[in-house]
Structure 1
Amino acid sequence: MAMAALRGASRCLASVGSAATARSILLSPSRGITYKLFIGGLSQFATEDSLAEAFSRYGQVIEATIVSDKVTNRPKGFGFVKFASQEEANSAREEMNGKVLNGRVIYVDIAKAKLDRDTDARPVARGPPKPIGND
């Protein structure tokens, strides 16, 4: 368990640029439960550091991420902020929802759990339909 956490942290460190973000990623597995907020309507000029700075007024930000398109590497306009406690996350959600950040109105809500792709309800192709009638 500890080795898996260290491997995950080292992978994250390889892709992270700033030392402050690297420290927060290392703290994340040891803190246990974190509270994640979904941030929608982000400007294309928003950065993870500016997002973390804007939300740090309401509590300890563990991690701030902005989701980017894999092909073009441009931001998709939404991201996530992890807080250390539920009270901090709730106060940030109440205060920041509908506020202007980098010239755009942002929408803040509690992040929903990612669906498990194995249990995702998708139809299974079983071939062409069988003819109806006498066999």
Structure 2
Amino acid sequence: MRGTGGEGICGNIRKSLMLVVVGNPNPKLPSQLLLSRGIASKLFVGGLSFYTTEDSLSEAFSQFGQVVGAKIVMDRVSDRSKGFGFVTFASKEEADRAVTEMNGKILNGRTVFVDYAKAKPSFSEALPIARPPPEQLHNK
């Protein structure tokens, strides 16, 4: 949705860039800006140990380039790792190297599987197709 005064996506990107260039003591781009511009590459990491933390995951993958973010997916009920997560790199080249080097390697005592993350389905793809109850189908 658009607001007044240059709001919206372009306004938000412009504000983020101004923050990075002018007033941000940390010169790295915000991860959201990187993702929205298609600069970052997100990897899926499966087979993680329950003892792997987001910090240790980030550290293990940082040898291949700048890690923008590392996220381990947690079970809401047990508050334990589901055994997989995501690592986001600042460039595709760094992500390519990480996939090549880390796929099938041991991390915290477990063999991890690394591949490119698949895009989330859009809202319309995620909704089921509406159909009438079965008895109405047979009565026609």
State the distance in 2 between where 1:126 and 1:36 align. 40
Q: Which residue of 1 aligns with 2:100?
A: 94
Kindly provide the amino acid, as one letter, of the partner of residue 139 in structure 2: P
* Runs of 4+ with deviation above 3 angstroms: 23-26
Contact 1:63 1:83 in 2 (8 A): yes
For normalisation by structure 1, the TM-score amounts to 0.75
Contact 1:24 1:63 in 2 (8 A): no
* Residues 28, 39 of structure 1: alpha-carbon distance in 2 compared, 3 angstrom cutoff: same
Superposition CA RMSD, Å: 2.4
Is the partner of 1:118 in helix, strand or coil? helix
Aligned length: 115
Contact 1:66 1:80 in 2 (8 A): yes
* Aligned counterpart for 1:125 among listed residues 110, 122, 131: 131
State the distance in 2 between where 1:111 and 1:60 align. 17
* Aligned counterpart for 2:119 among listed residues 107, 113, 121: 113
Q: Which residue of 2 aligns with 1:28?
A: 31
Is 1:41 aligned to 2:47, yes or no?
Answer: yes
* Aligned counterpart for 1:56 among listed residues 32, 56, 62: 62
Give 5+ residue unaligned stretches, structure 2: 1-8, 17-25
Give 5+ residue unaligned stretches, structure 1: 7-22
Contact 1:24 1:62 in 2 (8 A): no
State the distance in 2 between where 1:25 and 1:46 align. 25
Is the partner of 2:50 in helix, strand or coil? coil
For normalisation by structure 2, the TM-score amounts to 0.72
Kindly provide the amino acid, as one letter, of the partner of residue 76 in structure 2: K
Alpha-carbon offset, residue 27 of structure 1: 1.8
Alpha-carbon offset, residue 49 of structure 1: 0.2
* Residues 78, 25 of structure 1: alpha-carbon distance in 2 compared, 3 angstrom cutoff: farther
* Aligned counterpart for 2:74 among listed residues 68, 72, 87: 68
* Residues 24, 47 of structure 1: alpha-carbon distance in 2 compared, 3 angstrom cutoff: farther
Alpha-carbon offset, residue 29 of structure 1: 2.7
